[in-house]
Structure 1
Amino acid sequence: MSRLPFYAIVGLLLIAGIAMSVHRHLQFEIPWLPGEQRQVWEVEAMINFNAQDGPVEVDFSLPSHQQGFRVLTENTASSGYGLAYHADEFGRRAQWTIREAAGSQQLYYSAQILVSPEAQMTSQTAPELPPETPWERPYDTAATEVIEQAWARSADNATFARELIRDVNGDRQGENARLLLTQFESTELLVRLLNQAGVKARAISGLMLEDGRRRQTLSNWIQVFSDNEDQWWLFHPKSGEQGKPENLLLWETGGQAILEVQGGTNSRVTFSMLTHSQPASAAVRNHLSDDTLLNFSIHSLPLEEQALFQTILLIPIGALMVVLLRVLVGIKTSGTFMPVLIALAFIQTSLSTGLVGFLLVVSVGLVIRNYLSYLNLLLVARVSAVIITVIAIISVFSVLAYRVGLNAGLTITFFPMIILAWTIERMSILWEEEGPKEVLMQGGGSLATAVLAFLAMNNPVVRHITFNFLGVQFILMALILILGNYTGYRLLELRRFKPITDDEPKP
């Protein structure tokens, strides 16, 4: 029979698992190792204005995901106000409304901003060129001369913007530029001159992030688009510096007003900021809660279910350890996957407490099961009696541990009681049929396998990877399928050939 379909399935599982894991690491910034730290900025905007004893509507621009930064969480404090969020081609905005307000008003908006080198800004739509507004004399002649001089020294839209900024605000500032600046603010003038020359540009606002700063304001920047609008550049309107500084958080990128207040006067907004580091897994948790099908993850579930799946997802690791030890090493166990369930109990109880509890319960259970064998009970009744016995043993040990002050002994209740009952029943039958040696071999093999599975499952790196990268489950499935086709000798079987090597003549 052809093995091609089998190898095709294994290959698809490996490719799917690796692709899903790499995708989550690159696209959603899930770290490969636990304990990695990420820088997070806490930014707070405080809006102040005087209400005019009537209805008030406040419209405020909000930051979005962009190159170098990702918005994690947002919160507002606005007692008595209604709040709604809006998003369009110009960006995101928050709108506060109230039917009646008077006097000084304060609204707060805070956001957690993750420093993310992999984050990219959404595509920017170039603004339409505004209708040309005629200049008054003599500003029309001055504007034309400034545009012509910068155009002659440029090669494209980016270099034209750079030369124009130098002519208006730089060391080449001439009489024409100084004349224009007497009537227009610098950024407004530059955008108008760029648009007059047929270059699509707009003024946007950004916040320079500096740790511990308070009452900061937004700074103006100029966004210039290429001829085919597939590329844009950022310029500082004063220095002409091109490019986005690493600590610049673009706040408003649609060329709209930062703050608009209807029904109030003397409106202003100031910003405060702090930075701190936190574990990477916690920093991106809120982002992962909005998973799509391609980013399927446990983070979209409630926290209670997340905690449950964090343990469930470790079971394939234990299953892989059992397959390795049984197929390649040849260790005998009492039950196929009983060691995995015992290892899960060890995770809840700790290894030392779990080992002592397991040995006590099984030992006492075997003694009682030996007595039950003399009663000639049917199998179902005998196993049921063993289950009740196991529950009674665990209850007695828990009470005794509590009475003597050993609180760790209370965790023995995490042991799978049904599995323990079947283990005692199986070992008792094995004792009768094969003798105590076989019982010790299978019991010791089960305990050794459970300990090794516990060490693998309880490893912090393994717990982190299995919980955050569901593609690992496909990889584990592929590895188990490959091991399932192994037909060679087991390591413990090689001792059968030892007499042959002993009889060989020594050189």
Structure 2
Amino acid sequence: MSRLPFYLIVGLLLVVGIAISVHRHVQLEVPWTPGEQRQVWEVEALVNFNAQGGPVMVDMALPTNQQGYRLLTENTASPGYGLAFLEDERGRRAQWSIRDAAGSQQLYYTVQLLVAPGSRAPEVESPPLRRDIVWERPYDTAAAQVIERAWGRSADAFSFARELIRDFGDERQGENVRLLLTQFERSPLLVRLLNQAGVPAREVSGLVLEDGRRRQSLTSWVQVFAEDEWALFNPATGARGRPDNLLLWESAGQAVLEVQGATNSRVSFSMLTHNQPAAAAVRNQLADDTLLNFSIHSLPLEEQALFQTILLIPIGALVVVILRVLVGIKTSGTFMPVLIALAFIQTTLITGLVGFLLVVAVGLVIRSYLSHLNLLLVARVTAVIITVIAIISLFSVLSYRFGLNAGLTITFFPMIILSWTIERMSILWEEEGPKEVLIQGGGSLLTAVLAYLAMNNPWIRHITFNFLGVQLILMALILLLGNYTGYRLLELRRFKPVTED
């Protein structure tokens, strides 16, 4: 029979598992190792205004995911105010409302941003060209001459924007520019001139991030569009490009803050930066409550803790397959060592080993007495189960009385599995003798210890929990091992006399 379909399935599992894991690392920035740290900025916006004793409506622009930064959490503090987060053609905005307010008012908005150098800039649509630009005399003549001068020294939209902005600098500032600046602010004026020249542009607001700064204001930037691309220009210097520490707070060309029913409105910003584990930094993004989100992080924390243990079982199963198929170690029960290893994770290795040996030893003694009663199998195993429960309860009480709190964790052992283990070893003792019991019992303990070491490794725990594609890779490896028909390592002892001859 052809083995091609088998190898195709194994190859498909490997490719899909690796692809899913790489996608989570690249797109969602889930780290490969548990100890990685990520930089997080915490920015607080403080809105101040004087209410006039009536209804108040406050509308403030909010940042979005952008190149270099990704939103983690956002919170507000606005006692007595209604709050809604809106998203439309004007971008993301927060809207506070209250029926009656008087005097000085303060509203707080706090956002945590993950520094993500690999994140892509979102797609931005080009703003429509303004066709209703009207200049009064003599500003119309000055604007036309400023545009004509910069146009002659440029080759495309971006170079035109650069030359136009440089003409507003102190060194190249002419009479026409000085005349226009007496009537208009620089950034809106640059956008107006660019639109008149047929270049789509708009004014956006950015926040320069500096650790520990307080009461900072937003700065104006000019966003220029050409041929499905856009570029950011500093209206003061003409430098093109977005600085690494610049957070675009409002990028739709709208007002940052609009307040109705109040006066003297203003917004200021404070910021701090700190490092935190990368896994925690991306947890909120992985936990987004969407219908198509199949991440473990979307589950409640209690279920996440449960799955963190369940997802380790395939690792223990792989250890069992390797030791039984390739090495040839005999165990009492196929996957009993995996369950014992899970108990070791809860009890710690030394406590678990001592507790396991004590329970099994006492259980074998009692089981040897039950064998003289000639009971049926079901009744005999049931009696063993009750006996194991009694033994574990007794050891727990004694441990507590002697102040050995570690002994209380013996209750994590799977009692049914322990009972069947005692039953099998007792039958094996009667049929094969104590030597075979030691071989299978020792093999089971060795396998359980090795499975525990693999499953309790911090890196393996991190990988299995955060990259579900690893389960497909483990499946492919186990299928390959299941196809092995060669000699086991322990069987090679049979060939030792041949080598001596």
- Does the pair score TM above 0.5? yes
User: Aligned-pair distance for 1:169?
Assistant: 2.5
Instruction: Return the offset for 1:131.
Output: 2.4
User: Which amino acid in 2 is paired with 1:445?
Assistant: G
Alignment of 1:106-505 (within 5 A): 106-226=106-226, 228=227, 230-290=228-288, 296-503=294-501
The residue matched to 1:131 in structure 2 has which SS? coil
| Partners of 1:495 and 1:444 in 2: CA distance | 19
Tell me, in whole angstroms, the C-alpha distance in 1 between the residues paired with 2:291 and 2:453: 33
Alpha-carbon distance in structure 1 between the residues aligned to 2:108 and 2:189: 32
In structure 2, what is the Cα distance between the partners aligned to 1:406 and 1:149?
88
**1:358 aligned partner, one-letter code:** F
Q: Deviations over 1:235-273 (max 9, x none)?
A: 010111110000000000000000000111100000000
Partners in 2 of 1:133 and 1:5 — Cα distance? 69
RMSD: 0.9
Please list the CA deviations of residues 45-90 of structure 1 after superposition, one character each: whole Å capped at 9, or x if unmatched: 0000011111111000000000000010000000011111111233
Paired residue secondary structure (1:168): coil
Partner SS state of residue 303, structure 2: helix
Alignment-derived partner of residue 80 in structure 2: 80
Residue type matched to 1:131 in 2?
A: R
State the one-letter code of the partner of 1:13. L
Cα distance in 2 for partners of 1:87, 1:295 equals 22
What is the number of residues matched between the two proteins? Answer: 501
Contact 2:133 2:192 in 1 (8 A): no
Q: Deviation per CA, 1:411-466, whole angstroms, max 9, x where unpaired? A: 00000000000000000000000000000000000000000000000000000000
Q: TM-score, normalised by structure 1?
A: 0.98
Aligned-residue offset at 1:291 = 6.7
The alpha carbon displacement at 1:2 in A equals 1.2
Residues 223 and 230, structure 2, Cα contact 8 Å, conserved in 1 = yes
Q: Deviations over 1:130-159 (max 9, x none)?
A: 123221111111111100000000011100
Q: Can you list the C-alpha shifts for 1:474-507, whole angstroms capped at 9, x where unaligned?
A: 000000000000000000000000011111xxxx
Partners in 1 of 2:242 and 2:126 — Cα distance?
18
Q: 1:123 to 1:345 in 2, by over 3 A?
A: same
| Letter aligned with residue 70 of structure 1 | R
What's the CA shift for 1:293? Answer: 7.4
C-alpha distance in 2 between matches for 1:36 and 1:484: 36
Q: Residue 334 of structure 1 contacts residue 443 of structure 1 at CA under 8 Å; is this kept in 2?
A: yes
> How far does residue 171 in structure 1 lie from its aligned partner after superposition?
1.8
TM-score scaled by length of structure 2: 0.99
Aligned residue identity for 1:201: A
Contact 2:72-2:111 at 8 Å conserved across structures: yes
Q: Does 1:14 align with 2:26?
A: no
Q: Give 1:125 shift.
A: 1.0
Once the two structures are TM-superposed, the CA of residue 295 in structure 1 deviates from its matched residue by 5.8
CA distance in 2, matches of 1:324, 1:500: 27
Note the residue ranges of structure 1 that are not aligned, 5 or more in a row: none
Task: State the match for 1:32 in structure 2.
Answer: 32
Percent identical across equivalent pairs?
78
> Which whole-Å CA distance do the structure 1 matches of 2:89 and 2:285 have between them?
22
Which SS does the other structure have where 1:273 is aligned?
A: strand
Question: SS in structure 1 opposite 2:168?
Answer: helix
Contact kept, 8 Å, 2:143 with 2:176, in 1: the verdict is yes
Q: Is the 8 A contact 2:84 2:95 kept in 1?
A: yes
**CA distance in structure 2 between the aligned counterparts of 1:273 and 1:244, rounded to whole angstroms:** 19
Q: Report the CA distance between 1:200 and its aligned residue.
A: 0.3
Query: Given that residues 400 and 408 in structure 2 are in contact (C-alpha distance below 8 angstroms), is that contact kept between their aligned partners in structure 1?
Result: yes
Which digits, 9 at most, give the CA deviation of each residue in 1:159-217, with x for residues without a partner?
00000001122421111100110000110110100000000000000000000000000
